Structure 1
Amino acid sequence: MIVAGGLYREECLSPVWSRIFGSGGRAAAAVSQLSPGTILHAYGARQWADDARYSMEAFGVAAAITEIDADISFTYFHPLSTPELHPDPIIRQPPLKVAGEVVLRFGFVEGDVVVSADRVVYDPQHWDDVLRFHENGSQAGTLAIVLNEKELQLSTGQYEEADGAQALMARTGANIVVVKRGPRGAVVYDGELTAHVPAYVSESVFKIGSGDIFSAAFALGWAEQRLTAVEAADAASRAVAHYVASRSALLLPGMASIGEAAPDGTVGSIYLAAPFFNLGQRWVVEESVRALKALGATVFSPLHDVGTHGNAMHIASKDLEGLRSACAVLAILDGEDAGTLFEVGYARDRSIPVVVLAEAPRPESLTMLVGSGCRVVRDLTTAIYHAIWAATK
């Protein structure tokens, strides 16, 4: 397989992550064992281009790196945060050119790639590039576009997913469109066929690069192994579950049979139980609300939906009213706040599932939480995903 995509520095504060990977590097590494002779075409910072070549060689990947001056990096506070892109501005480079039987093409921030292949999988990486596959002269005998819900909406102006997929196929000539929905799986549009593919549950969720793994596994299955688009998307979803739990990019034989399918249905209301009495606590609440809503959840946040004005009886009654109508609770255990712990106990007494984020707990403080059936996790992204799965009916 030929992979054309970015080689970038990736940094994350929590959980700690520091790698030179990017979409192209990660995807090439992913397919290397099952697609011998994989070639990566990318730009790379002059200061670490040789290191990247050696790293790719260790995976069995031949890296054709066009060296540039910029050391491009994506820096995350946590995996669901909006990354900071450096440097600013980024100088655009002349386009790369690749041709072959099977090509996986990603969007670049510093350049472009002109591809010609029998089968192409295109992951644009940004909504502004979704409709531009052919603009630079790229050609594909059969074209599959893989993108997320937001990219589809913004690029087509259609907020009904099926309408957006049909519009995208009409405007680009794509034969297949795969729409990724994060914890809610993906939907495959293949001509007149529409099929939902589930997400697969993992104990932990490391989100950075998960979309790259999906596209790589889909390209391997559909473009090289000639699986149907639905079969390839299902295998890709399982590969993502393995990656987000292990952070290992390699696709290995047998992955197509692993994984427990996440619930398939409507995401109900999620009650956010958390203290919000200082800036740090307030920031976590705001980030949690933003991330949950971005992934399709409805959120009841006492801070936003009830507020802090009024007497204790008024606030408590309104909070509990929202809690009783919730399908799941996401509890931020910061400092063992009494209100948060009360809400957790209230929810469990009513058999409402609870996901607890406890980053640095005292072991003895978790006894009643674990004993009453709460799922306790250590990072925000994992908590967000498991709360959505718990609220899906």
Structure 2
Amino acid sequence: MLTVVGGIYLENCFTPIYSELFGSALRATCALGNKGIDIELKGTVGKEHFNDLVYKSKLYGFTNSVIESDLKTVEFSYFTPLTKPNIYNLPDKKEHLKVNADNILYYGMIENDCEVVGNYVVYDPQNHIAFTETKSKAQHLAIILNKNEAQMISKRYDDDLIDIGKQLKKSENAEVVVIKNGAKGAIVFYNDSYEIIPVFETHKVWSIGSGDVFSAVFAWKWIVEKLNPIEAAMFASKSVADFCETQQLPLVDSNNRHNPIVSKDINRVYIASPFFTVSDKLFVNEIRNLLIEFENEVFSPMHDLGLLDDKTSKTQMDEARNRDLLEIEKCDTILAVLSGNDPGTIFEIGYAIAKGKRVIILAENYKEADLFMFKDINCEITEDFTTAIYKSSW
């Protein structure tokens, strides 16, 4: 038996269009629905979505021990899968839950407080609250958290994740700590050592819920099947690749069809994109912020050279063009936004191809015939924004 405790939320995304009842705990439960495990789900959900939950319990075969609330279901609204969501329907007062079970997968919640007591516990603190602060107890504890959560809980905001992981393992009295670091993979701290777990390459990336899947699979492999934490985390990373590519639940078996990505110490990304209109500039700014968040070294002509206009001198124009070409030569990857057939962007793509650079093209609403010159020559073309950001960071 595995008891899954955590949030059950309505998730909406503007682009690409998506609307589902999941949240961390329900997604984890559905992900493991065909693994031969008896799973009990605990949490709260609004009255208007309780029947949906009952339907999913029958479809995925889990025991539904969720409390039906008179309050509305908490809603997460994303613009894209990579943007921070707006959160709606948060209650004025949190409900306090207590769970006592042998094997527990516990996701931190924003609408409830929870105190768990278990033998084997996997804790994913999505509300930035340390396990010790929840007053919970575990004989064997594994904590899985992303870089931002690790920094917040450790109260350290540097990038020394090795030292942060060791600190958390000690302060939280955890047997295992796993720090997920986006496109760079994860670090598993176990016994007195640590090991890097790679990300596995996919053709498409759907990121909403990928962290939930990692924790769910880790709990299955570590708690139920008693694999060591390194093996459990490796299997979890492969399963995340399956989920990101297909969004399929329950999870399918990967059969090792994904290749591990060798993380570079420094990944230099050049942004090629028009930036004439306000919408262009906002989009380039969002791309740059996300690439930096993924720990890339980024060159953006708009940010690093500024805007040129009719008053710009020929000398300044020449200097800007020469700098652009130099930065393309220095970069590892060029992320190009094909929008409106901008001549400057098309030239930058061609120059990068001639220099043997890896090129990721984000092309929305294009005909196949318009892209034939870019195919099969070291270019990867996608119409998905999230996929473009991840591929540029690999």
- The equivalent residue for 1:187 is 187
Write the deviation string for residues 292-322 of structure 1: whole angstroms up to 9, x where unpaired: 1111111100000111244422221121121
Write the deviation string for residues 78-121 of structure 1: whole angstroms up to 9, x where unpaired: 0100100003x532332222222210000111002221111100
CA-CA distance at 1:258 after TM superposition = 3.6
CA-CA distance at 1:225 after TM superposition = 0.6
Structure 1 residue aligned with 2:75, among 64, 73, 76?
73
2:122 matches 1:139: no
Q: Is the 8 A contact 2:268 2:297 kept in 1?
A: yes
Question: Where do 1:1-393 residues align within 5 Å?
Answer: 1-68=2-69, 69-87=71-89, 89-127=90-128, 129=129, 131=130, 133-158=131-156, 159=158, 160-252=160-252, 254-255=253-254, 257-309=256-308, 310-311=312-313, 312-389=317-394
Write the deviation string for residues 365-393 of structure 1: whole angstroms up to 9, x where unpaired: 2011114331000111100111111xxxx
Q: Give the AA of the match of 1:72.
A: V
Write the deviation string for residues 18-73 of structure 1: whole angstroms up to 9, x where unpaired: 00000010001111211432011011011111221221221001121112212211
CA distance in structure 2 between the partners assigned to 1:169 and 1:71 by the alignment: 34
Q: Is the 8 A contact 1:2 1:104 kept in 2?
A: yes
Q: Is the 8 A contact 1:157 1:164 kept in 2?
A: no
Question: Bigger shift: 11-20 or 243-252?
Answer: 243-252
CA distance in structure 1 between the partners assigned to 2:201 and 2:261 by the alignment: 5
Write the deviation string for residues 196-234 of structure 1: whole angstroms up to 9, x where unpaired: 010000100000000000000011111111111010000
Q: Is the 8 A contact 2:8 2:44 kept in 1?
A: yes
CA-CA distance at 1:189 after TM superposition = 0.5
* Structure 2 SS opposite 1:118: strand
* Structure 1 SS opposite 2:95: coil
Q: Is the 8 A contact 1:201 1:260 kept in 2?
A: yes
CA distance in structure 2 between the partners assigned to 1:386 and 1:267 by the alignment: 15
TM-score (norm 2): 0.94
CA distance in structure 1 between the partners assigned to 2:281 and 2:216 by the alignment: 38
Gaps of 5+ in 2: none
In structure 2, the CA distance between the partners of 1:344 and 1:364, relative to structure 1 (3 Å rule), is: same
Q: Is the 8 A contact 2:169 2:189 kept in 1?
A: no
CA distance in structure 2 between the partners assigned to 1:381 and 1:140 by the alignment: 37
* Structure 2 SS opposite 1:384: helix
Question: Bigger shift: 58-67 or 229-238?
Answer: 58-67
* Structure 2 SS opposite 1:200: coil
CA distance in structure 2 between the partners assigned to 1:244 and 1:210 by the alignment: 7
Question: Bigger shift: 297-306 or 32-41?
Answer: 32-41
Same amino acid, percent of matched pairs: 33
* Structure 2 SS opposite 1:147: strand
Q: Is the 8 A contact 1:57 1:63 kept in 2?
A: no
In structure 2, the CA distance between the partners of 1:290 and 1:126, relative to structure 1 (3 Å rule), is: farther
CA distance in structure 1 between the partners assigned to 2:117 and 2:32 by the alignment: 20
Gaps of 5+ in 1: none
Q: Is the 8 A contact 2:110 2:127 kept in 1?
A: no
Aligned residues: 384
CA-CA distance at 1:349 after TM superposition = 0.2
Q: Is the 8 A contact 2:358 2:379 kept in 1?
A: yes
Q: Give the AA of the match of 2:341.
A: E
Please give the root-mean-square deviation of Cα atoms over the aligned residues, in Å.
Answer: 1.4
